Amino acid sequence: MRLDDETLEKVDKQVRKLKEKNEQHFDILFSRYVCGLDYRQAVKRAGISSRTYDGQLALAEYFVEGALIGAEIKIFV
């Protein structure tokens, strides 16, 4: 998937909001996608159970995906 500059700016803004609102969610996304840790390493770094990690990762991803959905909705309006 290719994203235009405007959409990338929205994602960046959403990630910054995530860091302000919930640092744990930000750290989970950062370790998984920026640092490129595998699943076990990311869970260990987060210091939580794998089940809790899965839930927290999903919530963090949904938070950021909101920026992408918002960008798509704007296109259709």
For 35-54, how does the pLDDT look when each residue is reduced to its tens digit (9 = 90+)? 999 999 999 999 999 999 99
Percent of the chain with pLDDT over 70: 88
- The alpha-helical segments, DSSP class H, found in the chain are 5-21, 23-29, 39-46, 50-76
Residue 13: per-residue pLDDT: 86
Q: Enumerate residues 6+ apart whose C-beta is below 8 A from 42.
A: 28, 31, 32, 53
What domains sit in the chain, N to C, each tagged with a CATH number? 5-72 (1.10.10)
- Please check the confidence at residue 77 and state whether its pLDDT lies above 50: no
The model carries a pTM of 0.76
